[in-house]
Structure 1
Amino acid sequence: MSEASPPTRRTRKDEPGPAAALPPLPPTSAIDDDDPERLPTAQLEMAAFGDHLIPYVPPAPPTPPSLAPWALALAVVALVGSLITGWLLPLGVIGMIVAIVSLRRPHDGRRPAIWALALSSLAVTFSAGWLIWGFSQLAV
């Protein structure tokens, strides 16, 4: 058993290790030119800076809810009311205004807004007809 015992901490500390006997490594990139003592696997200080970072772009704000369904609901209620009486004329006008606003917004549905505008104008026409007929009957 002529195996040598492993070195202790003190002997390892006192004698130069195998790393000191190796020649210095040549630089492998432009980053290593600045610090010849840096190993090729060392952490780079440049990792937090540079063109590789993606700039922060805030998330897009959520789109507001569509007004087209509300305009269509107002138009339907105004149309049903205008078939019975003419006093829901303001509801038809409000439906027309909401439909026009919905048509001017880029993210709202165009088809329901067009239907709402058509039904609201029909409701306003029927309500105005009822009111004209009703006021003409009062004069008699």
Structure 2
Amino acid sequence: MTDTPPPTRRARKEEAGPAVDLPPVPPLPAGVRAAGSEIVAPEVDDDNRLPTAQLEMAAFGDHLIPYAPPVPPKPPSVAPWALGVAVIALAAALFTGWLLPVGVIGSTLAIVSLRRAHDSRRVAVWALALALLSVAFSVGWLVWGFSQLAVG
């Protein structure tokens, strides 16, 4: 099977015949821009260029709706985690003082949550209060425990 190659632009121009005379186009007013005036036509007739290459001109202009990026999702809240750690630290501080670092972690998370704009302020304040209370109980247990060791 031998397929003949499609005709080039130059061959199609030659087959088209003589050009048609059209009346002159009146000039545009001073403030009006012609559609596609910013695109420069190629100087050389390129046989390898696809006939649909000028469709890129339709992607620019005043008819397009400006792009608005989607709203990014809010990052996850730290306040519930801070409250959960503070409650666990307070429950542990009622029985032992060795879990003092859990109360410190809870208070740190509560402070981080207070500094974030989208976190619940009420939950973060409760978390900070409970975490500081657990730290106070833990320190009390540790002071009492160490004082009992020195008695002998």
Task: Quickly name the TM-score band, shorter chain normalised.
Answer: 0.5 to 0.7
The structural deviation recorded for 1:51 is 2.6
Match of 2:64 among 44, 48, 53: 53
The structural deviation recorded for 1:47 is 6.9
Say whether 1:86 aligns with 2:97: yes
Any gaps of 5 or more consecutive residues in structure 2?
A: 1-28, 30-34, 36-54
The structural deviation recorded for 1:100 is 0.4
Q: 1: CA distance between counterparts of 2:67 and 2:87?
A: 46
Q: 2: CA distance between counterparts of 1:54 and 1:112?
A: 42
Tell me which structure has the larger Cα radius of gyration.
1
Match of 2:144 among 93, 109, 133: 133
Say whether 1:68 aligns with 2:79: yes
Q: 2: CA distance between counterparts of 1:139 and 1:48?
A: 83
State the superposition RMSD in angstroms. 2.2
Q: 1: CA distance between counterparts of 2:135 and 2:146?
A: 16
Aligned pairs, how many? 99
The structural deviation recorded for 1:121 is 0.3
Any gaps of 5 or more consecutive residues in structure 1?
A: 1-29, 35-44
Whose helix proportion is higher, 1 or 2? Answer: 1
Q: 2: CA distance between counterparts of 1:54 and 1:130?
A: 66
Q: 1: CA distance between counterparts of 2:81 and 2:61?
A: 50
